[in-house]
């Protein structure tokens, strides 16, 4: 979303932070976590005020990335079978 708000394609953002477009796609899909140096560059390019760097730091120190009530929702969502 931040990338789109900045008017960048995955390839354009990738070039600005020195990674592949595939890396950006995997990160956006939740299949990959950014490394600290990439997170810092993402913060700089997307002007996030350090959002990505804080996210990575929480992962490194095993702190919850989401608030407890959000984690409960995510657990329930994961258990859902997809029927409505």
Once rounded to an integer, what is the mean pLDDT over residues 54-73? Answer: 64
What local confidence, expressed as pLDDT, does residue 44 receive? Answer: 95
> Is position 40 within any domain?
yes
Task: Judge whether 49 lies within some domain.
Answer: yes
Cα dihedral 2, 35, 50, 71 sign: positive
Average pLDDT over residues 19-31: 90
> Does residue 35 lie in a domain region?
yes
**Domain CATH number, residue 25:** 1.10.260.40
Range of the domain at 10: 2-79
**pLDDT, tens digit, 9 for 90 and up, residues 34-57:** 889 999 999 999 999 998 898 888
Among candidates 44, 60, 58, which has minimal Cα distance to 2? 44
Domain-located, residue 30: yes
Which long-range contacts (C-beta less than 8 Å, at least 24 apart) are formed by 54-62? Answer: 59/33, 60/36
Residue 84 inside a domain? The answer is no
**pLDDT at residue 83 above 60?**
no
- pLDDT, residue 37, reads 92
Tokens of 19: 């990674």
Number of compact structural domains in the chain: 1
Residue 26: how many other CB atoms lie within 10 Å = 15
Between residues 31 and 43, which one has the greater pLDDT? 43
The neighbour count for residue 45, using CB atoms within 10 Å, is 18
């Amino acid at each position: 979303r931040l990338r789109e708000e900045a008017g960048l394609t995955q390839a354009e953002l990738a070039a600005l932070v020195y990674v592949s477009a595939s890396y950006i796609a995997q990160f956006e899909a939740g299949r990959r976590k950014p490394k600290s140096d990439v997170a810092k560059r993402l913060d700089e390019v997307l002007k996030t005020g350090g959002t990505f760097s804080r996210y990575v730091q929480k992962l490194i120190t095993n702190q919850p990335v989401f608030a407890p009530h959000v984690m409960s929702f995510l657990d329930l969502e994961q258990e859902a079978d997809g029927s409505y």
